[in-house]
Amino acid sequence: MEILTRYLPILDWGCRYRADQLGDDLLAAVIVTIMLIPQSLAYALLAGLPAEVGLYASILPLVAYGLFGTSRALAVGPVAVVSLMTAAAIGNLGPLDMETKIVAAMALALISGVMLTLMGVIKLGFLANFLSHPVISGFITASGLIIAASQLKHILGVDASGHNLLEVLIALGQHMGDANFLTMIIGITATGFLFWNRKKLSPFLRSLGMGAKLADVFTKAGPVAAVAATTFAVYALNLHEQGVAIVGHVPQGIPALQLVTPPWDLMIELILPAFLISVVGFVESVSVAQTLAAKKREQIKPDQELIALGASNIFSSVGGGYPVTGGFARSVVNFDAGAATPAAGMFTAIGIALATLFLTPLLYFLPKATLAATIIVAVLSLVDFKSLGRAWRYSKSDFLAQAGTITLTLLVGVEAGIIAGVAIGIVLVLYRMSAPHAAVVGLVPGTQHYRNILRHHVITSPHVWSLRIDENLVFANARRLEELVLGAVAENKNITEVVLMCPAVSFVDFSALEALEELNQRLEDAGVRLHLSEVKGPVMDRLQRSEFLQELTGEIFLSHHEAMLALDPERFGKEA
Amino acid sequence: MEILTRYLPILDWGCRYRADQLGDDLLAAVIVTIMLIPQSLAYALLAGLPAEVGLYASILPLVAYGLFGTSRALAVGPVAVVSLMTAAAIGNLGPLDMETKIVAAMALALISGVMLTLMGVIKLGFLANFLSHPVISGFITASGLIIAASQLKHILGVDASGHNLLEVLIALGQHMGDANFLTMIIGITATGFLFWNRKKLSPFLRSLGMGAKLADVFTKAGPVAAVAATTFAVYALNLHEQGVAIVGHVPQGIPALQLVTPPWDLMIELILPAFLISVVGFVESVSVAQTLAAKKREQIKPDQELIALGASNIFSSVGGGYPVTGGFARSVVNFDAGAATPAAGMFTAIGIALATLFLTPLLYFLPKATLAATIIVAVLSLVDFKSLGRAWRYSKSDFLAQAGTITLTLLVGVEAGIIAGVAIGIVLVLYRMSAPHAAVVGLVPGTQHYRNILRHHVITSPHVWSLRIDENLVFANARRLEELVLGAVAENKNITEVVLMCPAVSFVDFSALEALEELNQRLEDAGVRLHLSEVKGPVMDRLQRSEFLQELTGEIFLSHHEAMLALDPERFGKEA
């Protein structure tokens, strides 16, 4: 593939664009635009930013993803978890006025965008492996709970916030008395309606004989209906004069493009949160894109996705927005609506831009309680405690990683939660790696096969000790291998020969090489020779680049049986 | 083994103690005591503490190790690298008066001691695997260089210090003009003598007909001779009145036992350095203990060693000392001198205690330049650039880890260096793990064996795609496996069956399970069935604890050939 096409997939699909695809893309764009408007406003409020920032974050990023992305259906923009992480990152900077908060959010998107792009260019996509499934799923569950709790203040019409579930709930408890009755009616009704809309509307419409596809469109329009109805109610009944909080004045028009240049120390403070947002956003987004691509037997390219998400975030910052990533719900809607190419996203961007230009006055009377209801219904579907039960049944250590992530996210906050999850995951991997899979082996009588002495009835030699190593030797398990061998030699003073059987070793790193050299030296000090058998070709090639083979006190045998014949001919000569 | 004996190895060797061992232990103790006195003073100065703190750190820790340790020869006490790390940790607290510095050093030993003990009790010794061979060796090399450079100020008689090589060298350059001529003469002579002593004295004495053992004793006494000679020179010639810096008044007697209770925020700041000191100290110490134990075919127990080192540090703190660990040189001396049991260490403690009680007045005129010379000669033997060359030849990525650790330690400081080394090591492991070893396989004609299609001439099916997985499936490689399979299916639209051949998979973690479930789902969406073959018993047992086997669209085959016979009978039925 040519370099330009590789980095700009639009050149690939763009020149093969057909008229029938245009129709599909336009229809998908209209549906997604309708869905995105209330979501964008709501998530911006969740991030602690003015509602219009959510709209700005839903225009240019979509264009950028259209240019650079490899998924046909992925729809980028503000999403719940990243908005929560943005709120936490900005909150950690201390009390700020709104103008500074916006600058910080733009800076966060810019730094995150540059990081993602760099990671894509130097192919660091594998870093996403730091986030294991249990950790990311635990993190999303906990984030969903925090987000839902944090939105209760809008439903109750009180002022209460915090960085973790505990703080949020305590603040809510303290302000319970200030609850506004009208706001509660709007909030609870909207939440109830949206839950009913999500679970029951589509089956109900189909029971009336409506087609499944059309019923689905009605369901997707539910949030817009809730927005329209409650906005009209506030306007008609002047509810905002009775304490119902509304979105209020949303500036009409699109802000001038600009590159934020926040002070250096602010940038430094944002590096860690930006990195966490980048990795979480990338993992989320790639997972959505892969799910949708597989349905059409298409492929996405993770490293190019990093570049696309990076560009989306840089564009978001330049356009006055905040960190974005690929969202699950909107991408599925885009896919189901028949989006044929990434052009659908670009048309959606035009739709949002038009809405920002012309529809914002209509949002004046939109009650915040309705937006909170939208968020609550959306995020509660992210909460998944079943996974915890499945992890418990499958593996206690994976359960630990997931439960640890959930607990720390809920009790301390999102950044602590995700870092703890990553740390637990890495510690678990190293722990598992630290005990090398290995078995002491002996000869199965009548054959030339060597098997685990614990599982088979086998012949062993009194002075030759054979250990089969069942995995690669790397720094994490090299030290334990040494302990294993030295322990056996210390316990059995008859041993004069140790043979390591290496049929499953396809890699020996430098630490393991040094451990083998040390082992050889220490065994020599103890009067024991060290041999190897069945060493694979590539491993042998690499060992030849060191002095190990010269220093080795024993020999290298092609087969383990040859080794036993040479080292204990009396016993093994007659058996074979 | 009974619980008491397990945690108190002294009960094991203590009740079998024999008179001939007493003689051996006493001799070893005398030799180690003579060696330890100048070292203890010198390392305390290196840590930025008064000289006597080094003596205090060489009394109680030796008793603690004697009670809890499993190595017969290990000698604990102040060592170069840990002293440098202590200096860095205290330096990071900002400018402090000497009294506060001592409290901080005692707190560091206490926190580190508690951490080590806890790690031993809950068996976290595997955490030491975080420090790979290339990283620890790079770290020690860089530390050796920094220490040597930092001691030049004492040799020159100027005031210059810094946290990394750059800072130290710049400070030295700036103060070059203040150099004291007499100090330089003492320093350079002592350094020259000690180098000659280390390299040439023993061969020279042996060429005169002296026995190797006795020649070795003379060599070990070299530093004491240098101390005695230069101290006498200063005293006799009143050199301290001409600007030669001396140790000065060292309090006579042993401080009362006490438990430091520093302010809470100081404790918090010391947690990270204490952890780093604990891990580096443990890795160093265990490596020395293992080397010596192997020579006598004895065994050490790493988790018990953690407890012993923990107790040593707690005792050090209580006795007015600073962080300690097992030292290489002194342990070798102890071993060579014939130490028969850990009682040798206890006798050494008595020796140092007596010296602290009665000999400190003799140290008044000891020039600091002599101590600096002792340190320089000791640490330059730690510097090992050859390892870098070997790593380069063996594996570029291990070279990167080592070079990165050296560079960051030299240019930024010890804490940054060790953290960067650990991080590079973990990233490399995850990177290596992220590309699963796997091969597309086909049937070797005339056999029932399936081999890599890239290496063998084999028969494949147009619609069945077989992938042999050559390692355990864990979170780090699960995602890549998905990409691999989905990529193959996206590129070849004929594929309707995917068979994963799992003879080498002995572990599937929860992330990998979820990845397999997702893969199954996505392949189903693409109209492809997923099968497994040759799944090991333990893996099967574990998979049965999940819903994966019910959801699996395909089947589980005992052998891969059975799978091919079932899925493409036309082609494979006639071949076998």
Tell me, rounded to whole angstroms, the distance of Cα B95 from its chain centroid: 29
pTM here is 0.74
B 322-381 → A contacts, CB under 8 A:
none
In this prediction, residues A144-165 reach a mean pLDDT of: 84
Yes or no, beta carbons of B293 and A490 under 8 Å apart: yes
The whole-number pLDDT of residue A566 equals 93
Residue B113, φ and ψ in degrees, nearest 5: -65, -45
Sequence-distant (6+) residues with CB within 8 A of B410 are B142, B145, B146, B164, B165, B166, B417
* Contact between A311 and A65 (Cβ < 8 Å): yes
Provide the pLDDT for residue B2: 64
Taking the C-alpha atoms of residue B314 and residue A288, their distance in angstroms, rounded to an integer, is 52
Q: What is the Rg, in whole angstroms, of the alpha carbon atoms belonging to chain B?
A: 31
β-sheet with A556-557: strand ranges across: A450-452, A438-443, A464-469, A497-501, A529-533, A556-557
Can you read off the two tokens belonging to residue A78? Answer: 């503000």
Average pLDDT on A311-322 reads 95
Name the residue with tokens 């206890």.
B346
Contact B155, B131 (CB under 8 A): no
Whether A129 has its CB under 8 Å from any CB of chain B: the answer is yes
Angle in degrees, 0-180, between the axes of helices B328-336 and B343-358, rounded to the nearest 10: 110
Indicate yes or no: CB of B126 within 8 angstroms of CB of A434: yes
Q: Test B297 with A487 for CB contact under 8 angstroms.
A: no
Own/partner long-range contacts of B15-21 (Cβ < 8 Å, ≥24 apart) = B17/B341, B17/B343, B20/B340, B21/B340, B21/B341, B21/B343
| pLDDT score of A31 | 85
Q: Backbone dihedral region of B435: left (phi > 0), alpha (psi from -120 to 50 degrees) or beta?
A: beta
Query: Among residues 263-302 of chain B, which lie with CB inside 8 Å of chain A?
Result: 290-291, 293-299, 302
| Average pLDDT of the segment spanning A271-287 | 90
Q: Strand B464-469 and strand B497-501: pairing?
A: parallel
Whether the predicted pLDDT of A498 surpasses 80: yes
State both tokens at B32: 């180690």
Strand order in the sheet with B464-469: B450-452, B438-443, B464-469, B497-501, B529-533, B556-557
Is B475 in contact with A129 (Cβ distance < 8 A)?
yes
More reliable by pLDDT, A204 or A110? A110
Q: How many residues does the structure list for chain A?
A: 576
Residue A506 is predicted with a pLDDT of 79
Contact call for residues B522 and A297 (beta carbons, < 8 A): no
CA distance A510 to A343: 49
Q: How far apart are CA A506 and CA A504, in angstroms?
A: 6
The residue behind tokens 């036309």 is B570
pLDDT at A576 over 70: no
Are A533 and A500 contacting, i.e. CB atoms less than 8 angstroms apart? yes
Q: B479, A128: Cβ pair inside 8 Å?
A: yes
Residue-level pLDDT at A2: 64
Residue indicated by tokens 């030799």 = B31
Give the residue carrying structure tokens 């999102």. Answer: A414
pLDDT in tens, chain B (576 residues): 566 777 777 777 777 777 788 888 888 888 888 888 888 999 999 999 999 999 999 999 999 999 998 888 899 999 999 999 999 999 888 888 999 999 999 999 999 999 999 999 988 877 777 778 888 888 889 988 988 888 888 888 887 777 778 888 888 888 888 888 899 999 999 999 999 988 888 888 888 888 887 887 788 788 888 999 999 999 999 888 888 888 888 888 888 888 888 888 888 899 999 999 999 999 889 888 888 887 887 778 888 999 999 999 999 999 999 999 998 888 888 888 788 888 888 999 999 999 999 888 888 999 999 989 988 988 888 888 888 888 888 888 888 889 999 999 898 888 888 888 888 888 877 777 777 778 899 998 888 888 889 888 999 999 999 999 888 888 778 878 888 999 899 899 999 999 999 877 878 888 889 889 989 998 998 899 999 998 887 889 889 988 899 999 999 998 899 999 999 998 887 654
pLDDT tops 60 at residue A575: no
Q: What pLDDT shows up at residue B524?
A: 92
Q: Is the pLDDT of residue A550 over 60?
A: yes
The residue whose two tokens read 């906005």 is A231
Residue B552: how many CB atoms within 10 A of its CB? 18
User: Smallest Cα–Cα separation from A289: which of A277, A273, A302, A272?
Assistant: A302
Number of cross-chain residue pairs from A and B with Cβ atoms under 8 Å apart: 180
- Confidence at residue A297, expressed as pLDDT on a 0 to 100 scale: 76
* pLDDT tens per residue across span A336-384: 878 888 888 899 999 999 999 988 888 899 999 998 998 898 888 888 8
Scanning B200-239 for CB atoms below 8 A from A yields none
CA-based nearest distance A442→chain B, Å: 20
What's the mean pLDDT in A47-63?
A: 94
